[in-house]
Amino acid sequence: MHGFRLIATFPHDTSSFTQGLVFADGQLYESTGLNGESTLRRVDFTTGQTLQRIDVPSQYFAEGLAMVGDELLQLTWQHKLGFVYDRATFKQKRTFAYATEGWGIAYDGASQLVMSDGSDTLTFLDPKTFAPGKKLRVLDAGRPIANLNELEWIEGEIWANVWMTDRIARISAKTGEVNSWIDLATLFPRSQRMPPADELNGIAYDKATRRVFITGKKWPRLYQIAVF
């Protein structure tokens, strides 16, 4: 079990029901959920200001977010449909389908997407065709870990928020074993979460500086942490 050190705190828009985070070139991209509230945003993480935004059609509940090259990929929860956007303009270029619910998605930066569906199993996807590949069951000492939610690929591991907990699982991308846990119960304690703040959900990694950013659904702050 890892602890953490708080490095910095930044404002976060409390209207953002965070479902996916991506950090690239000094800016944060965010997918937010709920029917009628779902969006795709580009955010100045230092101020929390939304610099660019599109609203997702109200029938969709947006979920996880990944970036592949110059495209942003956004999942939806129960429609089994994903959207592909031009990263610069947010213009929707095409859609893709999948067989399960959509929860989280992440890219390894090379050849693989990985997607969660709320179960204990991750599905790998081809980043060009979105064809499903291998499935990886996530286990901690033989115990299946369900409710895998927002994902981030960090230094060869898949980091996963586990819904309804304040923990992040660090998962081997090869075996599915949980290498370790990060306990974030004291980052923004449940006793301090006044409505509308909801569950911990949102991991972004800045590869250039190895910074880790954490937030949650309608949280008032974005946190930079170091894990020890």
Using 50, 70 and 90 to split pLDDT, how confident is the model at 33? very high
Kindly report the number of other CB atoms within 10 A of residue 91's CB atom: 10
Instruction: Assess contact for 224 and 45: CB atoms under 8 A.
Output: no
The model's pLDDT over 58-98, given as tens digits with 9 standing for 90+, comes to 999 999 999 999 999 999 999 999 999 999 999 999 999 99
Q: What is the mean pLDDT of residues 113-126?
A: 98
Give me the half-sphere count of Cα atoms (radius 13 Å) on the Cβ side of residue 45: 23
CA separation, residue 11 to residues 48, 187, 206, 209, 219 (Å): 5, 15, 18, 20, 9
DSSP 34: S
d(CA 124, CA 101): 14
* β-bridge mates for residue 53, sequence order: 41
**Domain 4-227 of CATH type 3.90.25.10:** no
pLDDT of residue 145: 98
pLDDT of residue 186: 97
CA 212 to chain centroid, in Å, comes to 12
d(CA 159, CA 153): 6
Query: What residue ranges do the domains of the chain occupy?
Result: 4-227
3-state DSSP of 52-74? EEEECCCCCCEEEEEEECCEEEE
* β-bridge mates for residue 74, sequence order: 65, 83
pTM of the model: 0.96
Alpha-carbon Rg for the chain in angstroms: 16
3-state DSSP of 73-125? EEEECCCCEEEEEECCCCCEEEEEECCCCCCCEEECCCCCEEEECCCCEEEEE
Contacts of 17 (CB under 8 A, 6+ apart): 32, 33, 34, 37, 38, 198, 217, 218
pLDDT of residue 102: 98
The model's pLDDT over 146-205, given as tens digits with 9 standing for 90+, comes to 999 999 999 999 999 999 999 999 999 999 999 999 999 999 999 999 999 999 999 999
